[in-house]
């Protein structure tokens, strides 16, 4: 099903805003972040074996924030000045403090993110997660946990995807491989992590 302008009708809790940043600003930010951040090639353990993640990532957060997924506690990197203005703008727009952003760098269409929900206890029962896309357009998939129905959404540079309400309880999402994509994409997911420690 598609709405006006060929945009897909998204499930409850999901909304999409194209061109939240202009094309020129989003590409400039992509280039700056891809070159300046200390990207990490992390791994996770599944069924007793270590697996290298098919993407680069960096967890940027306030010093007292602690966050983990798949049993791995992420080390905090300090906020780069170029993201502070975006953070402040999003906080004013959504009326919520964002004390962390998980940055993922997909170097080309071979880098992926498998099916998952952002339902870690630190995020709360109904987290508000704001996702900013920079660089190459990539297909994003949303899957109903019960009916298994899948919605496809093309995430374009400078766009915002907002996930809130019961979006993480009721749905999974993924970024599949796209062999024809040869450019990189950076995804910034702004979050409010609740388990802070002094």
In this predicted structure, which of 5-9, 15-19, 91-95, 154-158 has the lowest mean pLDDT? 5-9
Spell out the domains of the chain, with CATH numbers in brackets: 11-191 (2.60.120.590)
- pLDDT tens across 15-68, in order? 999 999 999 999 999 999 999 999 998 777 666 777 788 999 999 999 999 888
Q: Are 108 and 182 in contact (CB under 8 A)?
A: yes
> What integer is the mean pLDDT of 94-107?
97
Q: Rounded to 5 degrees, what angle do the CA atoms 150, 156, 158 make?
A: 130
- pTM more than 0.85: yes
- Using only C-alpha atoms, what is the Rg of the chain? 16
What pairs with residue 69 in β-bridges? 72
| pLDDT tens per residue, range 157-182 | 999 999 999 999 999 999 999 999 99
| Confidence label for 2 from pLDDT (cuts 50, 70 and 90) | very low
pLDDT band at 69 (very low <50, low <70, confident <90, very high): confident
- In the chain, where do the E strands start and end? 14-17, 43-46, 49-52, 56-61, 68-69, 72-73, 100-106, 113-116, 129-135, 138-144, 150-155, 160-163, 171-175, 185-191
């Amino acid at each position: 099903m598609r709405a006006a302008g060929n945009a897909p009708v998204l499930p409850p809790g999901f909304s999409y805003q194209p061109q939240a940043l202009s094309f020129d600003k989003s590409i400039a930010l992509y280039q700056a972040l891809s070159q300046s951040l200390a990207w990490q090639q992390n791994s996770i353990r599944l069924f007793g074996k270590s697996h290298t993640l098919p993407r680069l990532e960096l967890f940027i957060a306030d010093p007292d924030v602690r966050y983990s997924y798949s049993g791995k506690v992420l080390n905090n990197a300090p906020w780069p000045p170029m993201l502070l203005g975006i953070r402040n703008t999003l906080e004013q727009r959504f009326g919520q403090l964002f004390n962390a952003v998980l940055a993922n760098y997909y170097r080309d269409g071979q880098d992926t993110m498998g099916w998952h929900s952002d339902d870690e206890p630190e995020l709360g029962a109904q987290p508000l997660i704001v996702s900013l896309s920079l660089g190459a357009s990539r297909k994003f998939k949303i899957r109903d946990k019960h009916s298994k129905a899948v919605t496809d959404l093309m995430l374009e540079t400078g766009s915002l995807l907002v996930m809130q309400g019961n979006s993480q309880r009721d749905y999974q999402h993924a970024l599949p491989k796209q062999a024809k994509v040869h450019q990189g994409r950076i995804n910034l997911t702004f979050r409010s992590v609740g388990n802070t420690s002094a």
